[in-house]
Amino acid sequence: MEKIIQAVRGMSDCLPEECPLWRKVEDVIKNIIGTYGYSEVRIPIVERTHLFRRAIGEVTDVVEKEMYSFRDLNSENLTLRPEGTAGCVRAAIENSLLYNQEQRLWYIGPMFRYERPQKGRYRQFHQFGVEVFGLNGPNIDAELIMISAHIWRELGIDKHVRLEVNSIGSLEVRKKHRIALVSYFKRHVDMLDEDCKRRLHTNPLRIFDTKNTDVQKILGDAPCLSEYLDEGSKQHLIGLCKFLDAAGIAYTVNERLVRGLNYYNRTVFEWITDTLGSQGTLCGGGRYDNLVEQLGGKSTCAVGFAMGLERLILMLKKLELTQVCPSVDVYIVTIGEDSMVVSMQLAVQLRKELPALRIMNHFSGGSFKKQLKRADKVGATIALILGEEEIKKETVVVKDLINGAQNIYSQSEVAKYLAKLSR
Ligand code: ATP
Ligand code: MG
């Protein structure tokens, strides 16, 4: 026998059983973002490797060790996108979306990172992302946080998430802080692991992201970025907190919060849950006022966030919030030779008259009992029964699968009755 070919490690199939929950989450997200007036963008999954190197930063985990990069047949260096911001900025610049305009954009789609697969961490995963260009106040930062809070509320998980915000200041602030940090860590170099020692020279701020508990012990006394914050950044954070207070959104200011991608400045935030163990960050975002210029565009301020959909789905399952509507309303059951043709014609007619109704024909024969069992299994609430008698009289039996009641209607009138039910 031929060997079975398996999916790539860390990349999973979303099977029919799971898709309705995904659809529900995506629908909630799309409906909510629509009510804020944001516009969807669809951008390529493959970009030039160079784009991510320049946007995310050479010395980040993502660029150093997590990218799916390859050469195409024309020897171009390409990468499967590990995140959506870089491509979004590239597209905005390339298509002149930023020329004296503001933009409020969103996207949903797969991202790829070569990470160690585990619960909540995959090599192909999906993000909902929002990117806003041309607005520099803390009000828009607050609105992005409000949008994410709105999504938690609608999904029923708002009691299980918490918000952390921080300001990481300007580039100059981070330079000053970096000098102080390097000198502090050099004094404690014995405590650092190899990874952190390397980060000490490349990107010392990333040491704060370490998962090594020994290194974490010396983080408490390390110079804190907040001591170096410029007045503008301080005021921006105060402004953000004011808007969040007014919106009734609880948060903590975590002065140790830094983000894994280099492009952020000023506001950074994360939504965290304790229901998922160590993969607890549901959503992260912040300002990136320098990125557009860094990628060759005209200086344009920007802010955005991305949330991981797999983690959201895991959370809904954990909290048993997986109720979804069944995908079939009406199941058409047939007995006898001639009824199949009529059953398919009836389905066509009903779909025309009642476009919202989800109708499934039974195709695999078998006893009446077997067919009704199948109707139950697909979640239908009504069975339409076409036997020899019904074909002769051009009628149909309507069986309510919830209370068992049965009524007979003419085939041409049954849509009217079903319309009443679906209302
Ligand atoms: P983490 O610290 O968990 O690695 P991150 O800082 O790398 O997260 P971001 O780049 O900010 O994550 O991406 C935003 C969100 O996308 C995360 O909060 C998470 O929900 C989700 N995410 C990131 N990487 C993965 C992954 N490998 N698998 C599943 N979801 C992911
Ligand atoms: Mg990561």
How many C-beta atoms surround the C-beta of residue 309 within 10 A? Answer: 20
For residue 121, the CA-to-ligand 1 centroid distance in Å is: 8
* Structure confidence at residue 257 as a pLDDT band (50, 70, 90): confident
264, two tokens: 């952020």
Q: Once rounded to an integer, what is the mean pLDDT over residues 348-364? A: 95
The listed range with the strongest mean pLDDT (122-126, 318-322, 337-341) is 122-126
CA of 260 to the centre of ligand 2 (A): 7
Strands (E), 3-72: 39-40, 46-48, 68-71
Close Cβ partners of 73 (under 8 Å, ≥ 6 residues apart): none
Q: Give me the count of residues in the chain.
A: 423
Domain layout of the chain by residue ranges: 19-169+229-318, 330-421
- Is residue 173 packed enough to be buried (19+ CB in 10 Å), middle (13-18) or exposed (0-12)? buried
Q: Is the pLDDT of residue 79 over 90?
A: yes
Which bound ligand lies closest to the C-alpha atom of 114?
A: 1
Annotated ligand binding at 60? The verdict is: no
Q: From the CA of 115, give the closest atom in ligand 1.
A: 27
Distance CA 90, CA 348 (A): 46
Q: Judge whether residue 422 has pLDDT over 70.
A: no
| DSSP summary character for residue 277 | T
Q: Is 409 annotated as a binding residue?
A: no
- Of 66, 125, 315, the one to substitute when testing ligand 1's pocket (max ligand atoms within 8 A of C-beta) is 125
Give me the residue label for tokens 């983690």: 311
- Per-chain mean pLDDT for the chain: 94
Please name which of 231, 223, 226 lies closest in space to residue 207, comparing C-alpha atoms.
223
Strand order of the sheet with strand 68-71? 46-48, 77-80, 68-71
Euclidean distance between CA atoms 382 and 380, whole angstroms: 6
DSSP state, residue 118: B
Report the C-alpha gap between 260 and 271 in whole angstroms. 15
Report CA(56)–ligand 2 centroid distance (Å): 12
Pairing of strands 330-334, 302-308: unpaired
Region of 364 on the Ramachandran plot (φ > 0 left; ψ -120 to 50 alpha; else beta): alpha
Which residues sit opposite 382 in a β-bridge? 330, 400
Q: What residues does ligand 1 touch, defined as CB less than 6 Å away?
A: 83, 113, 115, 120-122, 125, 127, 260-261, 279, 281-284, 306-308, 310-311
What are the C-alpha distances in Å from 275 to residues 270, 282, 316, 319, 366?
15, 11, 10, 8, 46
Strand order in the sheet with 302-308: 39-40, 103-112, 124-133, 302-308, 281-287, 265-273, 161-167, 252-253
The answer as to CATH 3.40.50.970 being correct for domain 330-421 is no
Residue percentage of the chain with pLDDT more than 90: 80
* Ligand 2 mean position, distance from CA 259 (Å): 9
Ligand 2: distance of its center to the CA of 114 in Å?
Answer: 10
> pLDDT for 190-236, tens place per residue?
999 998 988 888 888 888 878 888 898 898 899 988 889 999 999 99
CB 108 within 8 A of CB 128: yes
- CA angle, corner 148, sides to 142 and 151, nearest 5? 140
pTM of the model: 0.90
Ligand 1 centroid to Cα of residue 393, in Å, is: 62
- Closest CA to ligand 1's atom 23: 308
Q: Which pLDDT band, with edges at 50, 70 and 90, does 6 fall under? A: very high
Of 208, 212, 234, residue with least CA distance to 221: 208
Structure tokens at 284: 């992260």
- Establish whether domains 19-169+229-318 and 330-421 are of one fold: no
- Ligand 1 atom index nearest CA of 113: 27
Residue 189's φ and ψ, nearest 5 degrees, are: -60, -25
Cα 97 to ligand 1 centroid, rounded to whole Å? 27
Cα Rg, the chain, nearest whole Å: 28
Atom of ligand 1 nearest to the CA of 82: 10
For 138-194, the pLDDT digits (tens) are 999 999 999 999 999 999 999 999 999 999 999 888 889 889 989 999 999 999 999
Pick the atom of ligand 1 nearest to 282's CA. 20
CATH number for the domain running over 19-169+229-318? 3.30.930.10
Instruction: Kindly state the average pLDDT of the residues 96-125.
Output: 96
Cα 114 from Cα 132, distance rounded (Å): 28
Q: How far apart are CA 164 and CA 131, in angstroms?
A: 19
Q: Is the pLDDT of residue 338 over 70?
A: yes
CB 260 within 8 A of CB 168: no
To the question of whether residue 113 is assigned a binding role by annotation, the answer is: yes
Give the CA distances from residue 115 to residues 35, 202, 273, in Å, rounded to whole numbers and listed in that order: 35, 21, 21
Pocket probe mutation, ligand 1, options 115, 311, 313, 314, max atoms within 8 Å of Cβ: 311
> Is 85 one of the annotated binding-site residues?
yes
